[in-house]
Structure 1
Amino acid sequence: MATDDDGDRARGRTGSRDASVQTVEKTLAILEHVAHRGGATARDVSEALGYPLPTAYRLMQALVQSDYLVHLRAEHRFELGYKLDRLGLSLHRQVGVPRPVRQEVARLHEQADAAAYFAVYRGADVVVAHVVDSPARPRLTPLSFGFHEAAHATAFGKIMLAGMTPESVDQYLDVHGMHRLTDSTMTSRDELDAHLAMVAQRGIAWEHEEFVPGMTCAAAGVRNQAGMIVGAVAISAPSESVDAARERRLAHQLRDASNQVSRYYRSGRVRGTAA
């Protein structure tokens, strides 16, 4: 038979768990703030995040002890610690883009004269895993390693959504939504479904200023041995530079790159070279 003491202990355990979760959330918020600001004092963090100054300082010192922050005492400020770099390297290894695939993306960048991307599934997300660009042909902001949003508005996202089952698309959009990013972004599910059907038929996904104004992107799917889309190669270029003739060239170059990367995932080889 439950007693009042049992209830108090249960509430105590729940309260302790809630406090622990709040501490983790505060700690992560501090890391993000320091990263975004390029460094910060405890007072900066206290004022920006609304934490009491002693709490901010205590959590930041704990992060220093764990090597996630460093304390520059002479400057009375904190900056990111070295363990974060090791975590970043581990993340890159886990996503793991093989060298032959990176070479194909670099080849696409050169041939298309455009920033080139490789995206993969990671769990339920569509994630940018590799980017090759140059000062003359820079990547789109924020399409860097780890970007995993707005599949409905990106070319690589569309080609990968087109390869999903309707149930998987439902699940993805239930989580991520269809937010309007530009005046051209599709926000109607019916419109997106019709577009994805066309993408699946053509094998190339185009995105005209739906993600970033003034920019056009295109993508082709990468397939595994079972013929299922497991990734995508993509390019981005200023819309004014993409006329009908260049669209045809880009489509050909994307198909060539996707065929080679697909070949790697089927056999471990690209263009006759061992992985």
Structure 2
Amino acid sequence: MVAEKQSKSAVQSLDRAFALLNIIAAAPDGIALGVLAQKAGLAPSTTHRLLGALEGQGVVEFDGQGGVWQIGLAAFQIGAGFIQRRDFIAAARAPMRQLMQDAGETVNLAILHQHRVVFVAQIECEEVMRMAVKIGSIGPLHASAVGKAMLAFLSPELAAQLIKRLNFPKLTAKTLPDNVSFENELQKVRDQGFALDDEEQSRGLRCIAAPVFNEYAEPVCAISISGPTVRVTADRTGQLSALVQAAADRVTQQLGGKKPN
């Protein structure tokens, strides 16, 4: 009984420590102890104790001059380990840069994580009005071109599992509202080879994405371009989608992957 209580206490401390780490990661200029404790819903003394443990592991650092807590070097090293494991990020760099130059728009690289998408790389265009997402940020699966591009080519069983978890929150007037419309959209993606977010996530923003495949013809990530609808117009969809698909195909080839039949 005592061991069980100790185990639950350890898990709770670990959950709280990771919550603190996520809050600190979202504060690029650092965050004061009091503000951090308030955001985490913890007592300052508890917060300080957990920060001490995290600091001991090097994942957070205290800036005495600014009086704030920041992400430490060890956290970066952990993240770098993830990037090294994901060879497609390195393989995608050159095609992404070429795509940005050819399309003139910001290029993104995203992966699937549970029932959401996570952006893992980005090359911004030089336009004043452009889209920018923070690396590591999460996007909705049902209203993103990258999400639809990957989901459309998953196995039917896995795709069905993910779709069951979607509740289709309405983000704009164009957001797909339910399973039927979403599955019809995925079939369209399979037929044409690319996915479109036509102001479904944000008004005035249009995105075009295509999947990257591994050696088993499974989608491992998706490349997209995104920009304002005044530049990424409906008339340019054919031209831009061809550029996006070519970039995704190039990464697939570099990884030794293959497209589905």
TM-score interval, normalised by the smaller of the two chains? 0.7 to 0.9
Match of 2:52 in 1: 61
Q: CA deviation at 1:227?
A: 4.2
SS in 2 for 1:22: helix
Alignment partner of 1:240 is 2:234: no
Indicate the residue corresponding to 1:179 in structure 2. Answer: 169
| Compared CA separation, residues 14 and 183, structure 1 to 2 (3 A) | farther
Deviation at 1:23, TM superposition (A): 0.9
Aligned with 2:13: secondary structure?
helix
Query: What is the CA-CA distance between 1:95 and the residue it aligns to?
Result: 2.1
8 Å contact from structure 1 (residues 130, 145) kept in 2:
yes
Deviations 1:223-272 (A, max 9, x none): 3455444432211121122334422211221232233223223379xxxx
Structure 1 alignment gaps of length 5 or more: 1-8, 269-275
Range moving further from structure 2, 228-237 or 101-110: 228-237
Residue number among 84, 94, 116 corresponding to 1:103 in the alignment: 94
Kindly state the Cα deviation for residue 146 of structure 1 after the two structures are TM-superposed. Answer: 3.3
Q: 1:141 to 1:182 in 2, by over 3 A?
A: farther
Shift of 1:172: 1.4
Q: State the shift of 1:113 in Å.
A: 0.8
Matched, 1:25 2:7: no
Give the letter aligned to residue 41 of structure 1: A
Matched, 1:51 2:20: no
Matches within 5 A, 1:161-176: 161-176=151-166
Aligned to 1:231: 221
| Mean Cα deviation higher: 107-116 or 258-267 | 258-267
SS at match of 1:40: coil
Secondary structure at 2:122's aligned position in 1?
A: strand
Quick check: 1:254 aligned with 2:223?
A: no
Match of 1:41 in 2: 32
**What amino acid does structure 1 have at the position aligned with 2:95?**
E
Q: Which residue of 2 is the match for residue 94 of structure 1?
A: 85
**C-alpha displacement of 1:115:** 0.9
CA-to-aligned-CA distance 1:186-206 (integer Å, 9 cap, x gap):
131000011111111111211
Structure 2 CA distance for partners of 1:209 and 1:79, relative to 1, 3 Å? same
Alignment of 1:217 with 2:203, yes or no, is no
Residue in structure 2 matched with residue 263 of structure 1 by the alignment = 253
Q: Deviations over 1:42-101 (max 9, x none)?
A: 333334433233222222222222222223345544332221121222222122336443
Residues 1:200 and 2:190 aligned together = yes
TM-score, normalization by structure 2: 0.84
The whole-number CA distance in structure 1 between the counterparts of 2:80 and 2:73 is 11
- Higher mean alpha-carbon deviation, 91-100 vs 15-24, is at 91-100
Higher helix share: 1
For the 8 Å contact 2:58–2:72, the answer to whether it is kept is yes
Change (3 A) 1:89 1:188: same
State the shift of 1:24 in Å: 1.2
Q: 1:137 to 1:114 in 2, by over 3 A?
A: farther
1:136 aligns with one of 105, 124, 127:
127
Aligned pairs, how many? 257
Q: Secondary structure at the match of 1:152?
A: coil
Query: Residue 88 of structure 2: SS of its match in structure 1?
Result: coil
- For 1:63, the aligned partner's letter is L
1:52 alignment partner AA: A
Q: Cα RMSD between the aligned structures?
A: 2.8
SS of match in other structure, 1:184: coil
- The answer (yes or no) to whether the contact 1:160–1:231 under 8 Å persists in 2 is yes
On the 8 A contact 1:126/1:160 being kept in 2, the answer is no
